[in-house]
Amino acid sequence: MGKILKYTFLLLNWFYINSNEILNGTLVTINGEQILLSDINETKMYLQYSQTDKKKDIKDEDILDKIIRNKLLKSHYKNLLEDPNIKDQIDTQLKYIKKAITDQAHNILTTYFKGDEKGFYNEIGCDVEDYIDNNVNIQKEQMIISLILQKIGNSEIFSPKKIKEFYDNMSEDEKNEKLKSDKDSYQISELVVINKESEDVKNILKEIQKKIKENPNDFNNIISEYSNEDINLGDIDIFDYNSPLCFYIAKLKENEISDVIDIDNTYYILKCNKKDKNIRNISCLTLYNNEFDNDDNIALEYLKSIKKDILDKKITWNNAIKKYSQNKDNKNFNGVVFNKNGDDILYNEYLSKKEIEIISKMNIGDISDPFIVERGGVKYYKIILLRNKKDKDDVSFLNNFNILKDIYNSKISQDLLKSQTDKLLLSEDICFDIGYDVCRKYVEKYKLI
């Protein structure tokens, strides 16, 4: 073979479907870790659905190349990943990633598919749970690779100054190709309150309690229909939980369900799923009790007062979202509004006529006056922060900074990844199953035979 790289070509598990494709054979084995055909398919689905240009073809051999290089890098720097500080950083970020993707998936399901899981599956290609699992795994992989590259590379190369240099060195043709789009777009964040009469909330609570009493084992499913917040509080250390609910949580026995708890005009019902010393795994219903009594003027004045406090710098926009917003789907994202693809680039078709009318008159950084959007018989009272506004032909640095950052960081990361793994490709034992065309292309590409 003439190279250090050793090859073992497997002739087993040839399951041909249509054009000699394997059902789910092993494509590559690196240090005992397998890469399956399903790994390529899941990554391809994620990349195709998340990229702006849906028609752009993503080659299987390019995906395989990236997966192989990622695994080689992780294997080579496994000691770095075993550093307790790095492990803690990964574990902490992973919790936020999983919660963010779960919230995002349910936001997409409810907002764009009206809760129709079949429609979600037909459009996206998998059910909600698989969407969450696949995206968590892919983003975890990306996060780990990014941490390794930042450790072995120079963090300065990811700085805004370097991104500006990258932009200045782009040709006009490159700017037009990468930064122009066929539509105007917006990036917004919203603070939302929902108008309900106090009597309505009390009736809802009675209905919830009745359902729980009839079927306590179905607690999570019951409260998920009504809760204004994520129902899963997760594992809570009662000695290190800064919340008024801590007192009530500490008293609960395993599988016990609390009575209704009223704190600052918000109602809670808790269930302790598991109890281990000072740790409690808790599910929680959160139900806001607005006192607008279906009076639009009171609700709008309420939002005006919040906007004034933000402008007077008594509270930041993000803290106001956490304190006041009642949109549970994006509250944990500082109120950022996402489209059905899961990104925050919004075109006119994603917005109501009222929102388009308001946003079109705003400048970047402005907060709108309060307004009302009615959907499904429910009134939503909103104020909007315009984070970015991009004309379709705009190729300026500032209005394209987020896009440029992604392009630049992706390029630098790919360059770093390639330079770090080119030598590893010649020193690792790689085993190819040549039953799938992508492996043949990969072998031919690198002249490995």
pLDDT tens readout for residues 264-310: 668 899 999 999 888 999 999 988 776 666 678 888 998 999 999 99
Domain 185-195+292-390 belongs to what topology? Chitinase A; domain 3 (3.10.50)
The SS3 call for residue 350 is helix
Q: Indicate the domain borders of the chain.
A: 7-161+399-445, 185-195+292-390, 198-288
| Residues recorded for the chain | 449
Architecture of domain 7-161+399-445: Orthogonal Bundle (1.10)
3-state secondary structure 81-115: HCCHHHHHHHHHHHHHHHHHHHHHHHHHHHHHCCC
Q: What is the biggest distance separating any 2 CA atoms in the chain, rounded to whole angstroms?
A: 81
Q: Name residue 314's amino acid.
A: K
| Encoded tokens for 84 | 């307790």
Q: CA 65 to CA 303: how far, in whole Å?
A: 51
The SS3 call for residue 434 is coil
Q: CA 50 to CA 40: how far, in whole Å?
A: 15
DSSP string, 273-305: EEEETTEEEEEEEEEE----TT-HHHHHHHHHH
Nearest residue to 379 (alpha-carbon basis) of 306, 326, 318: 326
Q: CA 309 to CA 234: how far, in whole Å?
A: 32
Backbone angles phi, psi at 4, to 5 degrees: -65, -30
The terminus-to-terminus CA distance of the chain in angstroms comes to 6
Tokens 């005009």, residue located: 265
Note whether 372 and 380 are within 8 A (CB).
Answer: yes
Q: Name residue 64's amino acid.
A: L
Residue pLDDT tens, the chain, 449 long: 333 333 333 222 322 333 334 445 677 777 677 788 777 777 777 666 655 555 567 777 788 888 888 888 888 888 878 888 778 778 877 877 787 788 778 777 877 777 788 888 887 778 888 888 888 888 888 888 888 887 776 656 667 888 888 899 999 998 888 888 778 888 899 999 876 555 667 788 888 999 999 998 899 888 887 887 778 888 888 888 878 888 899 889 999 999 999 886 688 999 999 998 889 999 999 887 766 666 788 889 989 999 999 999 999 999 899 888 887 777 777 888 887 766 788 888 888 888 999 998 999 899 999 999 887 667 889 999 999 888 888 888 877 887 788 788 778 877 888 888 887 776 666 666 666 677 777 766 665 44
Q: Name residue 212's amino acid.
A: I
Note whether 46 and 135 are within 8 A (CB).
Answer: yes
**Each residue of 188-197: pLDDT tens digit?**
999 998 765 5
